[in-house]
Amino acid sequence: MLDSQVQTEEVTESEAIGLITEKVYDLIGNPISKWAVAATIESLGVRDVDAQTDYGYDSVFDLADEVYKRIKKKVYDNVEKDEDEHDEFHFGGFRRTLKLFAKFYSAGMVFSLPMISQVVAIIIFEYALWAWFDFNEAQATLVALGTIVSFILTGGFIQTLGRLVSKYKGEENYYLAAKASWSILKIAIPFILLSAVAIFCLNLILPFYPHQLIILAMVYMVLISLLLLSAAVLFASEQRTMILVGIFLGTVVVIFGMDFAGFGIYFSQWLGISTATAIMGGYAYLYYRLKIRTLRQELFKQSLPEAEVGYYNTYRYFIYGFCYFTFLFMDRILAWSAGPPPPEYIIWFNTPYELGMDWALISLVITIAMLEYSIYSFSLNLIPAQKKAVVSKIKLFNRFFRRFYIKQILLLLFIGGISILLTYYGVLSLRVFENDVPEIADFFANPMTFKVFWLASIGYLFLIYGLLNSLFFFTLNRPEMVMYCMIGALFVNFVTGYLCSRIFGLEYAVIGLIVGSLVFAISTGILARRFFKHLDYFYYSAF
């Protein structure tokens, strides 16, 4: 037997209790119950026999009673000063807010860059992926038809893609994000193709347009749809720079086709759109493949929910997406089908109207980028505020976010106002060149363009406010709130736009956009008011 050269230190029972109290406190801090203390003492290797011999208690549970009392006394003796009744939350100062704004506004603008690149391409080269200065009205009509139909038909799929891909990507489950993308594309692509065939067949039965025009329109429709779907995957995967790269390189192909290869406008643009789609789609494929391989996510079994469950989980997003894009283009459809003068065919491109809308779109793009900041800032502060707010003062929590919301509205109004003025005067400043550049003179020739610009800009401002509210609802998993508001807004847009365009003139179709956007703004605003009043509930139920 070994001699006890290594002696355990002799301690009194009282000292031993003190030591074990310290150990328990170090491990669990303020104990939630005596049971927790007993369990912790046992986890330190103290048995009933040790409680008797070393601590003088019959059992671990009896020892735990004593240790619990001692720790509680220590905790209550060191009670923190209560917070002032009127204390508010503060999370960082103005500088932090400014830094965040700069960062996320820039990120929001990145998404607008593809569109801006198209505008720049048009100005410098006179053509872009699906635009050309020298399009006649028939050509402009077919391209516009193709574009509008593609947005409307893909809108629901885009929103569903966005929801599912961002959900799975947020869980870092690239395997299911890829699987979800593919499951939607497997439905969307045949749907697009069938729709193209159906529209063509319909036109055979009811010849709204010459067949050649419809065929060309459907080719644009299909190609732009595929491009939108591939861009949607990248957007939801937060690979937004690649969208710009794809669009840019596609545009380069168009320029090459027109200026060097002599392919003609249609083929050049089809090639350009296809190239952009291939680049974006190819990148998405490689991105997910690499991620899945690196994380070895293909090695374990996982699957998407059953189809019916998937539809149930996403149908609101689908409906919203479809309605949203229909809403965006409703005024054009109504304007181009109205007079005077009566259109060549059922829907016929109207240049001054379109110019006004495109002009207003610039202000939309500049303003909408701020939503990225708003939503990030909202998400960033949610949990810290929850941890700070005591239940007895839960109103402080809700009040903090109500004030936050008001600030976002004011910020939106400020940026919206600035962007409208900047857009107006910025484009107007080009008038100095109108004598030298006939296209500029043409741009400003028709007063309708100015009228439409102002009306549409106001409409877009209301729309962005509604989108701001919608983003909060989406963030806390309330798509039904957005869906119903958008359905209502679409209906009002249609009715108002139809009546105004038929009674007052085609350019007044944009009144439908204003009133519809106003309805969207008001309805989402009412819901937002309730949302922020009971934010604690909406955050809890966001599962």
Partner 1 sequence: MSKEKPFVLFETEGSYPYSGGGVSTWSHILCTELRGKVDFELLAITGNPYVESRYRLPDNIIKITHIPLWGVDEPSDYYDDRHPFSHQIEKKARATKRATQVYFRPIFEDFIKYLFDPYGDVARISDILYGLWKYFQIYDYKQTLRQPLLWSEFKQSLTNYFEESKMAFSEQPRVFDITFGMRWLYHFLMPLATPIDEEIDVTHATLAGFPALASIAAKYEYGIPSMVTDHGVYMRERLINVGQADMPFFSKRLLVNLSAMVSRSVYYTADQISPVTTANKEWEKRFEAADENIVPIYNGVNTDLFKPTPKPSHTRDTPTVIAVAQVFPLKDIETMIRSADLVRKEIPEVQFKVYGSLEVDQEYVQKCRDLIKELDLGETFHFGGFHDQPSMIFNEGDISILTSISEGFPYTVIESMSCARPVVATDVGGIKDALEGCGILCKPRDPQDIANGVVKLLNDDDLRLEYGRKSRERVLLTFTTEKSVDAYYDSYMRLSAKKRDPWKKRIQVKSVLNFLEYLEEEEFRYA
Does residue 318 contact residue 160 with C-beta atoms inside 8 Å?
yes
Q: Is 50 one of the binding residues for partner 1 (CB under 8 A)?
A: yes
Q: Is 174 one of the binding residues for partner 1 (CB under 8 A)?
A: no
Which residues have a Cβ under 8 Å from the Cβ of 287 and sit 6 or more positions away?
Answer: 237, 239
How many other CB atoms are there within 10 angstroms of residue 285's CB atom?
A: 15
Kindly report whether the peptide bond that precedes residue 479 is cis, defined as omega within 30 degrees of 0: no
Site for partner 1 in 281-300 (CB under 8 A): 300
What count of residues does the chain have?
543
CB 25, min distance to partner 1, A: 11
* C-alpha–C-alpha distance, residues 121 and 214, integer Å: 26
Determine the interface stretch with partner 1 among 39-47, 244-252, 411-419, 516-524 (rule: CB under 8 A): 39-47
User: What are the residue ranges of helices labelled H in 262-350?
Assistant: 265-295, 307-336
Determine the interface stretch with partner 1 among 111-119, 245-253, 388-396, 415-423 (rule: CB under 8 A): 388-396
Site for partner 1 in 175-194 (CB under 8 A): 176
Site for partner 1 in 484-513 (CB under 8 A): none
From its phi and psi, is residue 56 left (phi > 0), alpha (psi between -120 and 50) or beta? left
Q: Which is nearer to partner 1, 42 or 126 (CB)?
A: 42
Q: Is 44 one of the binding residues for partner 1 (CB under 8 A)?
A: yes
Q: Is 539 one of the binding residues for partner 1 (CB under 8 A)?
A: yes
Q: Retrieve residue 351's tokens.
A: 């240049």
Residue from 104, 130, 135, 397 touching partner 1 (CB under 8 A): that is 397
- Site size toward partner 1 (CB under 8 A) is 65
SS (H, E, C) 413-470: HHHHHHHHHHHHHHHHHHHHHCCCCHHHHHHCCCHHHHHHHHHHHHHHHHHHHHHHHH
Determine the interface stretch with partner 1 among 14-22, 316-324, 413-421, 530-538 (rule: CB under 8 A): 530-538
Q: Which is nearer to partner 1, 85 or 134 (CB)?
A: 85
CB 6, min distance to partner 1, A: 6
Q: Give Cα 408 distance to the centre of its chain.
A: 16
Q: Is 85 one of the binding residues for partner 1 (CB under 8 A)?
A: no
Residue from 27, 249, 430, 440 touching partner 1 (CB under 8 A): that is 27
Residue from 16, 36, 445, 471 touching partner 1 (CB under 8 A): that is 36
Q: Is 39 one of the binding residues for partner 1 (CB under 8 A)?
A: yes
* C-alpha–C-alpha distance, residues 422 and 400, integer Å: 33
Q: Which is nearer to partner 1, 30 or 241 (CB)?
A: 30
SS (H, E, C) 306-325: CHHHHHHHHHHHHHHHHHHH
Residue from 10, 45, 85, 436 touching partner 1 (CB under 8 A): that is 45
Residue from 133, 182, 312, 414 touching partner 1 (CB under 8 A): that is 312
Q: Retrieve residue 195's tokens.
A: 């729709």
* C-alpha–C-alpha distance, residues 531 and 526, integer Å: 9
CB 166, min distance to partner 1, A: 13
Torsion sign, CA atoms 298, 181, 237, 540: negative
Q: In whole angstroms, how large is the CA radius of gyration of the chain?
A: 31
Does residue 84 contact residue 211 with C-beta atoms inside 8 Å?
no
Residue from 20, 21, 25, 31 touching partner 1 (CB under 8 A): that is 31
Q: Is 43 one of the binding residues for partner 1 (CB under 8 A)?
A: yes
How many other CB atoms are there within 10 angstroms of residue 81's CB atom?
A: 5
Which residues contact partner 1 by CB under 8 A? Answer: 1-2, 4, 6, 8, 27-33, 35-36, 38-40, 42-47, 49-50, 59, 61, 75-76, 79-83, 167, 171, 173, 176, 300-302, 305-306, 308-309, 312-313, 383, 385-392, 394, 397, 534, 536-537, 539-541, 543
